[in-house]
Structure 1
Amino acid sequence: MKKIWFLISTLVLSIALTACSEESNGAKDEKDSTNEEAEAETEDAAKNAKSAMMQFYMSVSKAINSQDGDLNTYEASEEEPTAEMKTSAEASATAVVAELEKVEIPEQLKDQKADLEAALKDLTNSYQAKADELKKDTPSLEAANETFTKAEDQIGKAFESVGLNASSLGTEVNG
């Protein structure tokens, strides 16, 4: 009789352990699927941020390139620029300022928004400084170019924060 009770209690204990084990696995599976979903959301957010950063960068370079042709010609001139070149360059720099003011930062870059706003402000200030300098008899664009470089560095840091390699805006818009 003791053997039968022992077998029955062993059987009941095995069934109870199996049931607990299945519940534990179910909870573990739920945790795993929740973790996988969270990882997928994180990966999607990272991809979206990278895409938004590229979209932002392209809109900035497009805004500048659409208007800076005469300014680039003036700055690249190996000869003494003419008064007409200087006037055209000033108008070009002023037009770039207007275009940069239209650039918007994508919503997906909310973590980088402050840095990108500062970079846009510096870019705008750089081109405004160029326009102001070109009104002078002997313009010096060094300070404006330093401000541009500062903005370029800020954009580079924002690129790195989303996992992209920093890009050279100066090469993009002056090339």
Structure 2
Amino acid sequence: MKKLSFLLSAAVLTLILGACSNEEASKGEEKEESAAETTEAADEGKEMRSALLSYQGEVTKVIRNTDANLTAEGQDPAEAAAAFEKEAKAVSVPEELTDYTKDIEAAVDSLSQYYAKKAELVKAGSEDMAEAEPFKEEYINSMTKVFEEVELSAPAFNSVFQ
């Protein structure tokens, strides 16, 4: 009887230890999965930030080129503004920024309106560009929002413009 009781106790103890080790193993697997998901999310964030910086760099080149053309002698300001719209829309929004495409495209549209208004004012001989400024501010605000959402500090946009 004592032997049977001992064997029974040993069997129960073995089952309990086996169950505990399975729980710890599954907890370890969950931690590994969680760590993998965190690493994947961090990689996606880096890719988004990199894509946004590249995109903004391309748009900045178009902005600087347009600003130079708007005030160049012999250059029609309206043509420079039209060229901006064409060139800015040719800079495609990177795939990594799909969630922000709508905001980015709206920002570029505001910038197109800015250059159209600025061209109109330059052609009229005005040096006061105050009427165009609200469109530029819309662009800056929209892009700043996108930069903040991908956890990047927004560049000093005003330094991009002449």
TM-score normalized with structure 1 length: 0.81
Matches within 5 A, 1:19-38: 19-38=18-37
- The residue number in structure 2 matching 1:41 is 40
- The residue number in structure 1 matching 2:55 is 56
Q: Find 1:109's aligned residue among 97, 104, 113.
A: 97
The answer as to 2:117 corresponding to 1:118 is no
The share of aligned pairs that are identical, in percent, is: 24
* 1:40 positional shift: 1.3
* 1:160 positional shift: 0.3
- The residue number in structure 1 matching 2:155 is 167
Unmatched runs of 5 consecutive residues or more in structure 1 = 75-83
Unmatched runs of 5 consecutive residues or more in structure 2 = none
TM-score normalized with structure 2 length: 0.87
Q: Determine the C-alpha separation between the residues in 2 that align with 1:63 and 1:70.
A: 10
The answer as to whether partners of 1:63 and 1:103 remain within 8 angstroms in 2 is: no
Q: Determine the C-alpha separation between the residues in 2 that align with 1:172 and 1:7.
A: 83
The answer as to whether partners of 2:81 and 2:112 remain within 8 angstroms in 1 is: no
Q: Determine the C-alpha separation between the residues in 2 that align with 1:172 and 1:133.
A: 20
The answer as to 2:87 corresponding to 1:88 is no
Mean alpha-carbon deviation: is it higher for 27-36 or for 135-144?
Answer: 135-144
- The residue number in structure 2 matching 1:81 is none
* 1:89 positional shift: 6.7
Other structure's SS at 2:123 match: coil
The answer as to whether partners of 2:63 and 2:160 remain within 8 angstroms in 1 is: no
Number of residue pairs the alignment of both structures matches? 161
Q: Determine the C-alpha separation between the residues in 1 that align with 2:125 and 2:58.
A: 33
- The residue number in structure 1 matching 2:7 is 8
- The amino acid of 1:134's aligned partner reads V
The answer as to whether partners of 2:63 and 2:84 remain within 8 angstroms in 1 is: yes
Q: Determine the C-alpha separation between the residues in 2 that align with 1:55 and 1:23.
A: 48
Other structure's SS at 1:88 match: coil
Q: CA RMSD in A?
A: 2.1
Q: Determine the C-alpha separation between the residues in 2 that align with 1:138 and 1:57.
A: 29
Other structure's SS at 2:90 match: coil
* 1:48 positional shift: 1.0
Other structure's SS at 2:138 match: helix
* 1:70 positional shift: 4.1
The answer as to 2:151 corresponding to 1:152 is no
Render the CA deviation track for 1:37-80: whole Å, top value 9, x for unaligned: 21111111111111111111111101112332143xx4xxxxxx
Mean alpha-carbon deviation: is it higher for 25-34 or for 120-129?
Answer: 25-34
Q: Determine the C-alpha separation between the residues in 1 that align with 2:144 and 2:88.
A: 18
Q: Structure 2 vs 1, CA of residues 155 and 89 (structure 1 numbering), >3 Å: closer, same or farther?
A: farther
